[in-house]
Amino acid sequence: MKKLLIALSLFCVSFGLNAQQKSTEDAKMEKFINDLLKKMTLDEKIGQMNQLNWGDISDSIKTRVRNGEIGSFLNIYDPVQVNEMQRVAIEESPNKIPLIIGRDVIHGLKTIFPIPLGQAASFNPQVVENGARVAAIESREKGITWTFAPMLDISRDARWGRIAESLGEDPYLAGELGAAMVRGFQGKSLSDPTSIAACVKHFIGYGAAEGGRDYNTTNIPIHLLRNVYLHPFQKAVEAGAATLMTSFNDNDGIPASGNGFLLKDILRNEWKFDGFVVSDWESMREMIPHGFAKDRKDVAMISANAGIDMEMVSETYPDYLKELINEGKVSMTDVDNYVRNILRVKYRLGLFTNPYVDTKKASATYSKEHLQTAREAAIQSAILLKNENVLPLKETQKIAVIGPMADAPHDQMGTWVFDGEKAHTVTPLKALQTEYKNINYVYEPVLKYSRDKNTSDFEKAKKAAESADVAVVFLGEESILSGEAHSLSNINLIGVQSELLKAVKSTGKPVVVVIMAGRPLTIERDLPYADAVLYNFHPGTMGGPAILDLLYGKANPSGKLPVTFVREVGQIPMYYNHNNTGRPPQWIPKLEDIAIEAPQTSLGNTSFYLDSGDKPLYPFGYGLSYSKFEYSNLALSTTELAMGGSLTAKVTIKNTSNVDGTEVAQLYVRDLVGSIVRPVKELKGFQRVSLKAGESKTIEFKISTDDLAFWGRDLTKKAEQGDFDLWIGTNSADGLKAKFVVK
């Protein structure tokens, strides 16, 4: 009984009924909402819970807004149309409730930033926050008040096209950067006229789709769910994310849009989320093909009971909710609370006071400042994977610019770009023509686009390389090859790009490869033909100048991999924070060393692939610089950490080169024995450290037992006593090591 009362009171708090515990501002808001709710008919309440995709601004749609049948649109982006629809809602609908207008502004509206996976490579929350801020300012100018980002799906499978939209494979990194993105979109306050509401998605597990096939089933057991997949969502909710979106997948048989454990128990009761939850596009109706609902009425009942506040597109709520309430199958209290959640976000956005766009206000879209912010983001997002004394280039060298991505303004922007414009995108070629005018170059695209298989211009590529001091080959993926519903089973460089690279290398000239892609590609087979590799996840509007800044040493690469780069697609899933297994790899035999008709043997009895071993091509956190950094003097303030206490880990980093640079120092821990098996390493901190040539700095990380807490065997979250390893270093596979004990 006591438990029930506690649960009930938590439930009330989370639904905003316990106003005295909130600030005066919140109390005022709750009163406003409750007063409004009293005036609303059931039809209007259901209308608030209904989101439609924008079609034409027709009379019939206006009539529906006028009748209070629609709470939100997605995809209106013309400010004049937004104003007109808001006018109808505010002046003509029964209770004058403004609309909330959503759009997928995933990495910029007009000024396009690197795709989220690229932004994650910056390991810089400020870069991510700045990008989201610019996106919010440009969106609000169009009347967009809500974006469907950040996507915080942990992604450990590069075949999955939507890895592009993710912040990588690590829950800690995704949590820190996801919170930063929320801060950027929502600004200091949601009511600021330049803020938009964030929507953390997809709740939950979508990134673990079987085989990387989009929309597929996931099977994430409870400890993994708690310790890995939920973590970034909780961080984003703590950062104040206004809304959340459910995912398409079923996890262990339960589709996310019908999962009350996730939506009520975790999100509302544990995390105290008081914004609203929207289903993904038709994800409610899709519970029918999932085999979880028998018809559309069943869908509405399941989702309403699970805790979906707003339905995206499939309109089962308007069709059946009233009937379900009358039949006692959905509670009126739940529906009132769902409407409260939606109205709360509208109120916080200031829409009740001013839902309109000021179309006369000077536009900040594509401002110098926005473009510069995007350029800096693209610089910090690029990862130098290989450099055998070719980079940086000298401005006196003649270069041969080759390949389909050297001048691909559309593709360079990446996936989920509805509003960015080719004409505003600066490609590397364009940057050569405008900013880097003194460079002597010859340009041979050879392939028109990444999938182009026409080899007839290969000779031209060779001639160009022969005529130059260095060949710079721009390869990668078109933007349409990643993103939603764009999974691939082969993630080598597509088409004949590898062959092109070989042809260029055959000239004997030094070859720099610049890749722009939506995912970590399997490039091991290409590495022998590249003296240097600069990897960019589609870098956005200012990718061209950013890449040239890096190639010419005006900027020094500092990006680090937010995902493991596998050698072969067959190694997937491979991620740094895996469990050790009972048989961790020790001795890896070579395939060719196995004798013909070898007698039955277990070859060392450990966990690896005969043909590709157990190591990735590049580990999580990897990335080179033109500077050289040396780590020394790792020291812990104590090696005995009391439960509830914290320790400081210090390390000295020296830039031993003659080039100024920035290193991302990473702290990892391993909990050696746990009530459940703990990963071999877990990222617990990172810092970008700028060091002048020759400079040394001692940096500090603070680790508390809270940082070591995890959901253990008894399904509570706490740190456990015992031995820990700690590393600080330049990537997840390399670092100085210390030990401590939690007492």
**What residues act catalytically?**
280
> Taking a C-beta distance cutoff of 8 angstroms, is the pair 278, 272 a contact?
no
215 vs 356 by CB, closer to ligand NOJ = 215
Nearest distance from residue 682's CB to ligand NOJ, in Å? 28
Between residue 174 and residue 193, which ones bind ligand NOJ under the rule CB under 6 A? none
Applying the rule CB under 6 A, the residues between 63 and 102 that interact with ligand NOJ are: 74
Q: How many other C-beta atoms can be found within 10 angstroms of the C-beta atom of residue 74?
A: 21
**Apex 281 CA angle, 279 and 284, nearest 5:** 55
531 binds ligand NOJ (CB under 6 A): no
The least distance separating ligand NOJ from the CB of residue 104, rounded to whole angstroms, comes to 5
| Alpha carbon 19 to chain centroid, angstroms | 34
Taking the least distance from each CB to ligand NOJ, the nearer of 168 and 544 is: 168
Q: Is 686 in the site for ligand NOJ (CB under 6 A)?
A: no
Is the alpha carbon torsion for 445, 448, 453, 456 positive or negative? negative
Question: Is the CB of 74 or the CB of 703 nearer to ligand NOJ?
Answer: 74
Per DSSP, 218 falls in state: B
Of residues 537 and 668, the one with the C-beta less far from ligand NOJ: 537
Nearer to ligand NOJ, 104 or 568 (CB): 104
Written in H, E and C, the secondary structure of 109-168 is CCCCCCCHHHHHHCCCHHHHHHHHHHHHHHHHCCCCCEECCCECCCCCCCCCHHHHHCCC
Number of residues binding to ligand NOJ, judged by CB under 6 A: 7
Structure tokens at 369: 């400042």
Asked if 148 is part of the footprint of ligand NOJ (rule: CB under 6 A), the reply reads yes
- Residue count (the chain): 743
Indicate the residue among 281 and 668 with the shorter CB distance to ligand NOJ: 281
- What phi-psi label fits residue 553: left (phi over 0), alpha (psi between -120 and 50 degrees) or beta? left
Q: Give the phi and the psi of residue 673 in degrees, each rounded to 5.
A: -135, 130
233 touches ligand NOJ (CB under 6 A): no
Nearer to ligand NOJ, 148 or 711 (CB): 148
Which residue's structure tokens are 């950490």?
Answer: 641
* Closer residue to ligand NOJ (CB): 106 or 683: 106
- Check binding of 280 to ligand NOJ (CB under 6 A): yes
C-alpha dihedral (591, 596, 602, 607), degrees to nearest 10 = 10
Q: N- to C-terminal Cα distance for the chain?
A: 36
Q: What span, in angstroms and rounded, lies between the C-alpha atoms of 342 and 50? A: 11
Instruction: Specify the residue for token string 């979880």.
Output: 292
Q: How far is the CB of 280 from ligand NOJ (least distance, A)?
A: 5
What is the distance between the alpha carbons of residues 546 and 431, in angstroms, rounded to a whole number?
9
Decide if residue 201 touches ligand NOJ (CB under 6 A): yes
> Which residue in this structure is represented by tokens 């002597």?
440
What is d(CA 114, CA 164) in angstroms, rounded to the nearest whole number? 10
What distance lies between CA 333 and its chain's CA centroid?
A: 35
Question: Which residues touch 97 (CB under 8 Å, ≥6 apart)?
Answer: 36, 44, 48, 68, 71, 89, 90, 343, 346, 352
Site mask for ligand NOJ (CB under 6 A), range 21-60, x = bound: ----------------------------------------
Which token pair is 617? 């091509």
Look up residue 383 and give its amino acid: I
Structural tokens at position 491: 């993630």
Count other Cβ atoms within 10 Å, centred on residue 698.
13
User: CA dihedral defined by 537, 542, 544, 545, rounded to 10 degrees?
Assistant: -130
**Residue nearest ligand NOJ, Cβ-based:** 148
Who contacts 401 (Cβ-Cβ below 8 Å, separation ≥6)? 428, 429, 432, 441, 442, 443, 444, 464, 472, 474
Supply the minimum distance, in Å, between the C-beta of residue 472 and ligand NOJ: 35
Which amino acid, residue 301?
M
CA 690 to chain centroid, in Å, comes to: 25
Give the nearest distance from C-beta 484 to ligand NOJ in angstroms: 6
Tokens of 202: 């997809």
x/- mask, ligand NOJ, residues 427-466, rule CB under 6 A, reads ----------------------------------------
User: Residue 674 CB: number of other CB atoms within 10 A?
Assistant: 15
Cis peptide before 573 (omega within 30 of 0): yes
Nearest Cα residue to 616 out of 573, 670, 678: 573
Nearer to ligand NOJ, 251 or 558 (CB): 251
Q: Does 286 bind ligand NOJ (CB under 6 A)?
A: no
CA–CA–CA angle 712, 714, 715 (5° rounding): 65
Which residues face 649 on adjacent strands?
636, 701
Element holding 13 (H helix, E strand): helix 2-14
Residue of the chain from 270, 435, 484, 499 that contacts ligand NOJ (CB under 6 A): 484
Q: Does 524 bind ligand NOJ (CB under 6 A)?
A: no
The reply to whether 104 sits near ligand NOJ by the rule CB under 6 A is yes
**CB-nearer residue toward ligand NOJ: 281 or 622:** 281
319 touches ligand NOJ (CB under 6 A): no
281: contact with ligand NOJ by CB under 6 A: yes
Of residues 177 and 561, the one with the C-beta less far from ligand NOJ:
177
Between 163 and 393, name the residue whose CB sits nearer to ligand NOJ: 163
Residue 535 main-chain phi, psi, to 5 deg: -100, 125
**Judged by CB, which is closer to ligand NOJ: 280, or 526?**
280
Site for ligand NOJ, rule CB under 6 A: 74, 104, 148, 201, 280-281, 484
